[in-house]
Structure 1
Amino acid sequence: MLMKNVMLILFLANANTLLAQENDTVKVEKPAGVPVVSYSSPKEYTIAGIEVTGCKDYDDFVLIGFSGLSVGDVISVPGSQITDAVKRYWKHGLFSDVKISASRIEDDKIWLEIHLKQRSRVSQVNYNGIKKSEREDLESRLQLKKGHQITPNLADRAKLVIQKYFEGKGFKNVDVEINQTDDLSHEGQVIVDVNIDKNEKVKIRKISFRGNEALTDSELKKAMKKTNEKFNLSRDFKSSLLEIFSTKKFTAEEYEKDKKNIISKYNEMGYRDAVLTADTIRNVNDKTVDIDIRIEEGRKYYLKGITFVGNTHYSTDFLTAVLNMKAGEVYNQKKLNERLISDDDALSNVYYNNGYLFFSADPIETDASNDSIALEIRIQEGPQAVINRIIINGNERLYEDVVRRELYTKPGMMFSREDLMRSVRELAQSGHFDPERLVPQPLPNAENGTVDIKYDLVSKANDQIEFSAGWGQTGLIGKLSLKFTNFSMKNLLNPNSYKGIIPQGEGQTLTLSGETNGRYYQAYSIAFMDPWFGKKRPNALSLNAYFSRQTGISQRYYDRNYYQNSFEQSFDPDQSFMSLGGSVGYGKRLNWPDNYFQFSATLNYQMYIMKNWNSFLAKNGNSHNINLELRLQRNSIDNPLYTRRGSQLDLSVALTPPYSLFDGKDYAAMDDQDSRKFKFVEYHKWKFKAKFFSPLAPSSVKRTPVLMTRVEYGFVGSYNKHKKSPFETFYVGGDGMSGYSGAYGTETIALRGYENGSIAGSDGPETFGYAYSKLAMELRYPFLLEPSSTIYGLVFLEAGNAWKDMKSFNPFDLKRSAGVGVRIFLPMIGLMGLDWGYGFDVPNYGGKGKRNGSKLSFVLGQEF
């Protein structure tokens, strides 16, 4: 209780700046039986006692302390001591009524009674007229909280905060009304209703410039990023889409930034002395304003020469080449800053990447005669910093050594900014931490030339449960997949290490999957991957096993008289296609050509068991597919969920033994239905895939629009033209999620805007291609980037085709489509999405001679 009262005193001692006195009447009352006090002849009394009434939330000694009066004090009645005591209570602002009376007077002694009426406390706050996100923002800014006392000053301050908040969003004419009503269910408490009418945003009708000659009005308006005129059809007819849809609201904060952007634009053009001499904002009406800006440009400057002072580690010639600015050029201060600090290959980063964490470079103008500037760049290199400690906070999922093994910064190493950013990228790629909040902090110690590096991680769930449904030849296909991304194989037999239903902590991946269409189709698989097999080096081991079975449909289903019959009536147990197999792979990270490359080799085995099957060249018998896949990959993307920059390259070849070259069989004489012909499948399969991500805004912008471009090619060849493989072909078109195509031993390739498999290698029921090409371009924009979910929209252009053999391949004969889509990533579900595409061309199969037109595509657990 003592601590509570002490805290209350400290709070009230500072509350006088926030609280105001109401126009209540303050009286020094004379109770009945008390001698009459003469106001013309004050008399001194000694306080014999003080009693406080009407306020039960605070202890009496705390409230008496507010008055400044104490037992034993000598006061004049009437006199200033009583008046000052009343003022002190009003200054605290916690009371709506204050009265001080004398309950007894005996001789020269007086007993005082202080009656206080406490202000109401808040029981509930209701915000009306605004969105949920706005309410949450305001709640964090205001002191209107449940249990707090509400005062006139507090209400007035809340109004100002609300108005300023919405003014920053372009609403300059916000009406705010704060009403209080007694809470009948809680004595002494009130319900506060905050009614907000934002009215319309204030927009800019016109921006005018005076004094500008070197730069046109249009160039200056482009320099203003967030302060833009309302769109005018006649004036802006030739404007770019970016300008037409740019923000037109007026906010004082953004306007101040844009005034600096105007000066930066002049500095970029060599006008070092440019200033804004005046600017005026005029209200046209409640909805629009005009802005007038007066500029004094000054003269244009050029570089006279650049010298370096203080550099010992790098030569002047080398630094001059890095700076990339020469005498005679325009004195571009923006470029100077970028080449010194902000560019990835800036001069400062050259030093930082070699341990010079204490480096600084100060450009000094040593001569500014006429129109020329001579620069002297004064360099302080300092000592090379050695990493002392690596501090990891917030890791709640992985074993500590699993996190540390991904870092390129280790104790004892020379500090390198490049290594620091690479470590951030590897942590983001692991998927166990929020990539949007991965900001490392170097903690330099100049005294001993060392640096500690702190990684504050925000763990996020990365395991996924996928429950999806798709439509195949025989109806609805249901799929359930469990993906555990933090599995620990070594603790499988140690139940005490389990977190939930599985052992966790080593960053291994275990995937269990099953899908079915009842008795028509079943598929099951299990996969395991250890990214650090052996624990010492980043060498990946992968294991996979699967089984699938597809039952056929009788011919009567396709007969005109029975086409509308159910699949159940058309079930044909005498037709089936089964596949089973497994694989083991081993991958190794490379240091050449750079350390983003990885090489892997995977040995695969598949067995296909066919019984009266009509979809392939072979209809009966068993086929064995033994192949070795070699893959070279490079992955330098910065973020696996919403990628802003980097690239992904994938070149692979899968080879079977060339049986036909040494088994002595005459395959030209064999019929395709001869089960011996395809007992051992042979082929060579080549694939190339590439993605490039280019940000369309600076790295400081969180919601960065990104342009993604993609190119893909695939070819399946044969050693013997008479033994062409019926498997490992390409199933092109649609959403890329057709479950049955995977069961048939073919690879699904999505092409939005077209039906599944409609981009066939030939016009007929054999819809599988032996070559394909695909090009795509996507413009992406993020709506939400949080650990709980990632949401972004996209606009795409796509083109592709499939061919029956390499001779028919034509990279310019493509089926085109365009559309829009959205992607949602939820930690426990994975990637989901919806695309609407329009196919502009006639598909190879099933199009009936007409362009494909509109088509919706769903995405579950994969990206097109």
Structure 2
Amino acid sequence: MFKKFGILFILVSIILINANQVMANNTNYNVITDLAVSGNKAIEEQRILDQVKTKVGNEISNEQLREDMKAIYNLGYFSNIQILFKNYKSGVQVVFKVDENPILTKIVIEGNKEVSNDELKALLTVKTGKILNFKDLNQDREAINKYYYDQGFVLGRIVDVKMEEDKLNIIIDEGRLNKIRINPEDDTKDYVIRRQLSMKEGEVFNINDVRKDISKLQRLKYFEEIKPEFEQVPNDPQAIDVKLNLNKPINGRTVFGVKDSAEGGAVGNIMLEKHNMFGKGQKLTLDFEAGSDVTDYNLDFYDPWIFESKTSFNINLYHEMTEESTSISDGGLDSIGSSTRVDRDIKEKGVDMQFGRELSENIRGYLNFGYDDTKIEDDPYENTRSIAMTTIRDLRDNYLHPRSGSRQEFRIEKAGFNGDNDFLKSYLDLRNYFEAGEKSSWAIRMKIGASDGKLPTYKKYKLKPNLLDGVRGYDSSYYGGTDGFKGDSILLGSIEYRVDLYKAVRGVLFTDVGRTFKDNDISLNDLNYSVGVGVRFFVPVLGAELGFDYGYAPEGDADHKDEITFKVGTSF
């Protein structure tokens, strides 16, 4: 019996061995009979297989499988991917074995000082409570780097990203200003420039600070040209050196001339102006006139930094005589409806002291103390004692040639203090600048001023064709003989379209509107207006623009409808 059982066992074994051999002979190891995924938990299998172009029934292609692995990796959810092969239904089962990224429980940002965590986390698309996605993280890295660049931190960027189990660490280096080197073409003291700078060595570098500091230096008028250079620090890609090249010093000017005096006859004139004296930033100006019947002077000293503080000091001593044109009628001087023009001499002498200080970034305040003695013709001298306060907020991109930004000025002056005149006078001056292409811009200005009390005639608001406050086009005789060009209050507006023509030459199209008023009876119906064209030339030796404007005033008298005006400096 056992012998029969043994023979049967041997027969069955032979059959099974032969059957397995047959099955082995029928298996095709080059044909894919199934696709599967292993190792995934949070990401569905079908979402992974949707990235795979290899199909069941295809022959194995190592090149295509590499592309499939790349496509799965590009989902961003996996740190590692492997391919396993198994026998399956007379062929091969391809298994994509994945290692999933962790589900984030914490995101830590390190190294940032100038940009807050809240600002940076608002840019992140990777969130806690969700599986980390490398693809999203790379996009977040680019978004944060771009945000830093847009804010002016051009060196700021993510320098490393680390995973500690389920915690994501983002390490940022905002970049540093290593050294500032001052390179003037004259003997300007190093501290004179450094005390104006907001950027500091060792602090986070921001290109906007460089632009603002250059604008500050331009306002000093020490140099015609200020060019920054940036140099990478060896072995430190997150640090930079800034070199300020201060070229073409504006040392000052000397002007000689001859003109007619108010009393008639020739008057010699000399004007001496010294900028940045001894390289210490101080300025001295002497304007002297002398003739047979007149000796006038104006002596002005300015120190931008007295007592080793940020307080500026300016003192002006003057003695001068001018000719005023006014009108007379039955109503008296300067009355409405006047018809007779009168010329009279005004003699003034006095002193004005001004202290200035930065109140906040881009805002500066000034305090003035003034005393003057003034007489008109043969009248006795009368004195004015006054205190004035001024605030100026200046956001212009360039002091000499603004193309964008704005400037706001408010001034209030109180006279009295046992002087002969007692009044309150104030004005608001607003200016805005807008770029209009690569070589052109718009400039808009509005000024409104008022007063309380009796203003002496020489303290009234004035419109003059060759001054900042003017309606171009009305000639000087019209200004002198017509009401609306000197008064107790003022309303003025100007619009200019400016275009660069050639290097230091600019063309201007403009329209002006304005008028002064008796008391504070401002009326839009009584405004004078004009239109015109002009040209500007920048003169390096003067550090200023010279310009000619031709204005046409439709409402002027028949003989006073147009005028050519010469200007030193910009209109506004």
* TM-score normalised by L of structure 1: 0.44
The alignment status of 1:429 with 2:219, answered yes or no, reads: yes
Deviation track 1:546-591 (CA, whole Å, cap 9, x = no partner) reads: 00135899xxxxxxxxxxxxxxxxxx9xx86421100111111012
Amino acid at match of 1:813: D
The structure with the larger Rg is 2
Residues 239-269 of structure 1: per-residue CA shift (max 9 Å, x gap): xxxxxxxxxxxxxxxxxxxxxxxxxxxxxxx
- From 607, 610, 613, the equivalent of 2:373 is 607
Q: 2:472 touches 2:551 (CA, 8 Å); kept in 1?
A: yes
Residue 634 of structure 1 and its aligned partner are, at CA, apart by 1.2
Cα distance between partner residues in 1 of 2:488 and 2:213:
41
> Is the alpha carbon distance of 1:576 and 1:395 closer, same or farther for their aligned partners in structure 2, counting shifts above 3 Å?
closer
Structure 2 SS opposite 1:425 = helix
Partner of 2:53: none
- Kept in 2, the 8 Å contact 1:710–1:776? The answer is yes
Give the deviation of 1:791 after TM superposition. Answer: 2.5
**Matched residue type, 1:691:** R
Alignment equivalent of 2:457, drawn from 715, 719, 726: 726
**Which has the larger share of strand?**
2
Match of 1:538 among 304, 310, 313: 310
1:315 offset after TM fit, Å? Answer: 7.9
CA contact 2:472–2:563 (8 Å) conserved in 1:
yes
* Candidates 430, 435, 450, aligned match of 1:715: 450
Q: Distance in 1 between matches of 2:387 and 2:560?
A: 38
Structure-1 residue corresponding to 2:87? none
Identify the structure with bigger relative contact order (alpha carbons < 8 Å, sequence gap 6+): 2
Question: Distance in 2 between the 1:828 and 1:316 partners?
Answer: 51
* Change beyond 3 A, Cα 1:860–1:457: closer
CA distance in structure 2 between the partners assigned to 1:840 and 1:322 by the alignment: 58
> How far does residue 507 in structure 1 lie from its aligned partner after superposition?
1.3
1:468, 1:860 within 8 Å by CA — same for their partners in 2?
A: no
Amino acid at match of 1:779: Y
- SS state at 1:529 partner: strand
Shift of 1:763: 4.8
Q: How do 1:302-317 and structure 2 match up within 5 A?
A: 313=112
Selected match of 1:404 from 185, 188, 194: 194
In structure 1, the residue matched to 2:364 is 598
Match of 2:104 in 1: none
Alignment match, 1:509: 283
Q: Could you give the per-residue CA deviations for residues 210-232 of structure 1, whole angstroms, max 9, x where no partner exists? A: xxxxxxxxxxxxxxxxxxxxxxx
Tell me, what secondary structure is at the counterpart of 1:438? Answer: strand
Change (3 A) 1:800 1:771: same
State the alpha-carbon separation in 2 of the partners of residues 651 and 461 from structure 1.
29
- Residue 412 to residue 726, structure 1, CA distance change in 2 (3 Å): same
Is contact 1:351–1:357 with CA below 8 Å preserved after alignment? Answer: no
Distance 1:752 1:577 in 2: 25
Task: Give the structure-2-normalised TM-score.
Answer: 0.65
Residues 327-354 of structure 1, C-alpha deviation per residue, up to 9 Å, x if partnerless?
xxxxxxxxx9xx9799xxx71336654x
Matched, 1:771 2:479: no
Where in structure 2 are the equivalents of 1:534-613 lying within 5 Å? 534-535=307-308, 537-549=309-321, 577-591=346-360, 595-612=361-378
CA distance in 2, matches of 1:462, 1:628: 32
In the alignment, the residues of structure 2 paired with residue 322 and residue 776 of structure 1 have an alpha-carbon distance, to the nearest angstrom, of: 44
Q: Percent identity over the alignment?
A: 21
CA spacing shift, 1:812–1:649, aligned 2, 3 Å:
farther
C-alpha distance in 2, partners of 1:360/1:421? 25
Give me the CA root mean square deviation.
3.8
2:258 and 2:366 map into 1 onto residues whose CA distance is: 33
Q: Name 2:29's counterpart in structure 1.
A: none
Residue identity opposite 1:774 in structure 2: L
| Aligned-partner SS, 2:228 | coil
The 1:468/1:754 distance shift into structure 2, 3 A limit, reads farther
The reply to whether residue 638 of structure 1 matches residue 397 of structure 2 is yes
Q: Where does residue 474 of structure 2 map in the other structure?
A: 754
Q: State whether residues 734 and 757 of structure 1, in contact with CA within 8 Å, keep that contact through their aligned partners in structure 2.
A: no
Residues 411-560 of structure 1 mapped to structure 2, 5 A cutoff:
411-435=201-225, 438-444=227-233, 447=236, 449-467=238-256, 474=264, 479-487=269-277, 504-515=278-289, 518-519=291-292, 521-535=294-308, 537-549=309-321
Q: What is the number of residues matched between the two proteins?
A: 422
Which residue of the partner structure matches residue 375 of structure 1?
none
User: Which deviates the most, 403-412 or 389-398?
Assistant: 389-398
For 1:468 and 1:625, the matched residues in 2 are separated by 31
The answer for unaligned runs of 5 or more in structure 2 is 1-106, 125-138, 160-168, 326-342
The answer as to whether partners of 1:733 and 1:757 remain within 8 angstroms in 2 is no
Residues 860/427 of structure 1: CA separation in 2 closer, same or farther (3 Å cut): closer
Q: How far does residue 658 in structure 1 lie from its aligned partner after superposition?
A: 6.6
Amino acid at match of 1:318: E
Q: Could you tell me which amino acid in structure 2 is paired with residue 633 of structure 1? A: I
| TM-aligned CA deviation for residue 522 of structure 1 | 4.5
The answer on whether the counterparts of 2:455 and 2:488 sit within 8 Å (CA) in structure 1 is: no
Deviation digits for residues 53-99 of structure 1 (CA, Å, limit 9, x no counterpart): xxxxxxxxxxxxxxxxxxxxxxxxxxxxxxxxxxxxxxxxxxxxxxx
629, 635, 647: which one aligns with 2:406: 647
The structure 1 residue matched to 2:501, chosen from 759, 783, 797, is 783
Distance 1:513 1:416, change over 3 A: same
For residue 662 of structure 1, what is the aligned residue in structure 2?
none
